Chains A and B, each alone.
Chain A
Amino acid sequence: MTTNAHVLPPKQAAAAENTPSSGKKAGKLERTGLGTPFVVIGCILLVVICLFPFWWMSISSIKTLRELYTVPPIWWPAAPTWDNYHKVLFESNIPRYFLNSVIISVGSTGLALCLAVFASYGFARFDFKGKPLFQAFVLVGQLLPTAAIIVPLFVTLRVLGLVNTYWGLILVYMIITLPLSVWMLTSYFKAIPVELDEAAIIDGASRVGVLFRITLPLSTPGIVAVVVYSFVTTWNEFIFALCFASDSSVKTLPIGLAEFSTEFNTDWGAVMAASVVMTLPIALLFLSMQRLFVGGLTAGATKG
């Protein structure tokens, strides 16, 4: 905003000098913008680039083996088949991995949300010594190269007996979800007028009461954004799951998918079907919440 303030005055002055009616004139001035051909071609390119892999994945998942391995490739299968899905859902470990992923994602999202709500309220509403330092420390988690802490985390989890357990991964995922959750929620809480808190406290509410009865209900969009963000990132997480969950009882979907596709004789039909199975829940969740999520993310970025 400060830069605007510097840029604006001379230009406004210049505009005002023109004629007294310059305000009206500016309104009638032709809109500049990209020419229609540019916009149309750009949009078509963009849509094709974004959707094609997704579409090819879906098409490949309903092809028979023979249709998958032909040159030239078949654009639309003559006899769509559910065999690949049958294989993935009933003859592989994917359903188990799906369940593991759900448990771990829900667990770490819930835990991160609880911790983040309190921490963000503390950061948004109190002034205390060392606050900038603590805030910086929280964000460091987001900046840390995860590969650099895999080894000590593994050793720590081994000492605690948490390697190959749900709790191990849930805890470790706090590193990824907690910092950004705190960051986003703090900016949401700051946007709520302090006067509301003060009025409630005068009426005899406790700090925690204010948080749960006033601040939280007012920041539902922020909460939703944090939940979606945490769920999506933990659902997709790969490195930690690869290192800390080597047993099939706790392996998550990404690991299962990677196993599927790097074996020697990759069954591409099944791999694509598994990819669809893994993508669907996340795509539905994300697209239904898209507006809220993007709003929350950018609010955090500009106010942070």
Chain B
Amino acid sequence: MSRQSTGYWFILPALVVLAMLIAYPVAYTGLLSVTDSQSNFVGVKNFATVLRSRTTPQAFWNTLYWVGGSIVFQVLLGTATAILLNQRFPGRSVVRSIALIPWVIPSIVAATTFAWMFHTEFGIINYMMTAPGLIEHPIGWLTNRDTVMPVLIAINVWKLFPFVAVMVLAGLQSIPKELYEAARVDGANFWEEVRHIMLPQVRPVLVAVTLLLVIWGLNSITIIYAITRGGPANSTLITPIQIFRIAFENVQFNQAAALSGMFFAVAILIVFFYIKALAAAPGEAR
């Protein structure tokens, strides 16, 4: 009995802080979303206002595009990097450290540096593409509505693929040697090993990492906000930035709360279905 209550005392301080910072604000968001700025109950009026706005669906699709596009390439590149760094070659530890650099650099620094590199007139990227004749004229990467989102996604991929690589590499290193030896006896070549041993064995890692990437993707404001602030013409406006704008630029806290609530619900749904789909997948122990 005494053991039990002692445990509570140890975790109590952390729980109180988190309850204050998470549970209370979440509950308060619900309250804000159904009232007006004078705290009068207004039902679903805020939700209706937000949903009627033309920017809301646009921001929603942009968010999906941003998160989906980022994750696909982060996972592909990250896994490929991990397999490469799992090989034995001289200087491997140096390359491993270097591969972590994009992840170490603060997002805001990555954003400003790439904004300079993608500069229309003086950017190094336009120069590297015009000089060998890949493109004829410099492209306004960050001002053209068609190129801006793919460029931002590329920056985000650059920033986070090292994280995927680190986690997958750890997974690769924990694969028992016997599996490889058995495969070699059977005459497997490298690519068969990748397909039949490495990928199936790191699948749980990939599942966990992808979930984290989804959540981080839904949270990420920094790169987009620092480079385009959601422009040009809202073509890179994602829902988190829209919430920020409604709350702090239009000062409509109640509408922002309504949008937050819906955003939260959609995020939970995505995570829920993701976990559900994987729980149902065959061969998954957890």
Residue in B11, B17, B267 whose CB lies within 8 Å of A148? B267
Judged by a CB distance under 8 angstroms, whether B41 is at the interface is no
Judged by a CB distance under 8 angstroms, whether B127 is at the interface is yes
Q: Interface residue count for A (Cβ, 8 Å)? A: 110
Judged by a CB distance under 8 angstroms, whether A171 is at the interface is yes
Q: Report the contact-size class of chain B (Cβ under 8 Å from the partner).
A: 35 or more
Judged by a CB distance under 8 angstroms, whether B109 is at the interface is yes
Residue in B32, B181, B243 whose CB lies within 8 Å of A26? B181
Residues of A within 8 A of B107 (CB): 236, 238, 254
- Is B105 within 8 A of A261, CB to CB? no
Residues of B within 8 A of A175 (CB): 18, 21-22
Judged by a CB distance under 8 angstroms, whether A242 is at the interface is yes
Judged by a CB distance under 8 angstroms, whether A200 is at the interface is no
- Is B178 within 8 A of A12, CB to CB? yes
Q: How far is the CA of A258 from the CA of B101 in the complex (A)?
A: 21
- Is A153 within 8 A of B25, CB to CB? yes
- Is A174 within 8 A of B21, CB to CB? yes
Task: Please give the distance in Å from A237's CB to the nearest CB on chain B.
Answer: 9
- Is B215 within 8 A of A145, CB to CB? yes
Task: Please give the distance in Å from B160's CB to the nearest CB on chain A.
Answer: 12
Judged by a CB distance under 8 angstroms, whether A230 is at the interface is no
Scoring A residues 206 to 249 as 1 if CB is less than 8 Å from chain B, else 0, what string do you get?
A: 01000000000000000000000000100110110011000000
Judged by a CB distance under 8 angstroms, whether B133 is at the interface is no
- Is B182 within 8 A of A151, CB to CB? no
Q: How far is the CA of A34 from the CA of B100 in the complex (A)?
A: 22
Residues of B within 8 A of A204 (CB): none
Judged by a CB distance under 8 angstroms, whether A193 is at the interface is no
- Is A137 within 8 A of B18, CB to CB? yes
- Is B182 within 8 A of A271, CB to CB? no
- Is B84 within 8 A of A46, CB to CB? yes
- Is B13 within 8 A of A148, CB to CB? no
Task: Please give the distance in Å from B187's CB to the nearest CB on chain A.
Answer: 9
Residue in A71, A178, A271, A297 whose CB lies within 8 Å of B116? A271
Judged by a CB distance under 8 angstroms, whether B257 is at the interface is yes
Residues of A within 8 A of B183 (CB): 11, 32
Give B16's nearest chain A residue, CB to CB.
A115
Task: Please give the distance in Å from B71's CB to the nearest CB on chain A.
Answer: 15
Q: A interface vs B, CB < 8 Å? A: 2-4, 7-8, 11-12, 14-15, 18, 22, 25-26, 29-34, 36, 39, 42-43, 46-47, 49-51, 53-54, 56-57, 60, 68-73, 115-116, 118-119, 121-123, 125-129, 131, 134, 137-138, 140-156, 171-172, 174-175, 178-179, 182, 207, 232, 235-236, 238-239, 242-243, 253-254, 257-258, 260-262, 268, 271-272, 275, 278-279, 282-283, 286-287, 290, 294, 297-298, 301-302
Task: Please give the distance in Å from B164's CB to the nearest CB on chain A.
Answer: 12
- Is A122 within 8 A of B193, CB to CB? no
Q: B interface vs A, CB < 8 Å? A: 3-11, 13-15, 17-18, 21-22, 24-26, 28-29, 32, 80-81, 83-84, 87-89, 91, 95, 97-102, 104-117, 119, 121-122, 124, 127, 131, 158, 162, 166-167, 170, 174, 176, 178-186, 188-190, 193, 200-201, 205, 208, 215, 218-219, 221-222, 225-226, 229, 239-240, 243-244, 247-248, 253, 256-257, 260-261, 263-264, 267, 271, 283, 285
- Is A298 within 8 A of B166, CB to CB? yes
- Is B285 within 8 A of A2, CB to CB? yes
Give A304's nearest chain B residue, CB to CB.
B208
Top 8 A-B pairs, shortest CB-CB distance? A126-B7, A122-B10, A147-B240, A119-B14, A11-B182, A152-B25, A298-B170, A236-B106
Residue in B80, B101, B162, B219 whose CB lies within 8 Å of A145? B219
Given known contacts A56-B113, A134-B15, A143-B215, A119 and B10 CB-to-CB distance under 8 angstroms: yes
Given known contacts A51-B101, A129-B4, A72 and B127 CB-to-CB distance under 8 angstroms: yes
Task: Please give the distance in Å from B45's CB to the nearest CB on chain A.
Answer: 17
- Is B243 within 8 A of A150, CB to CB? yes
- Is A301 within 8 A of B205, CB to CB? yes
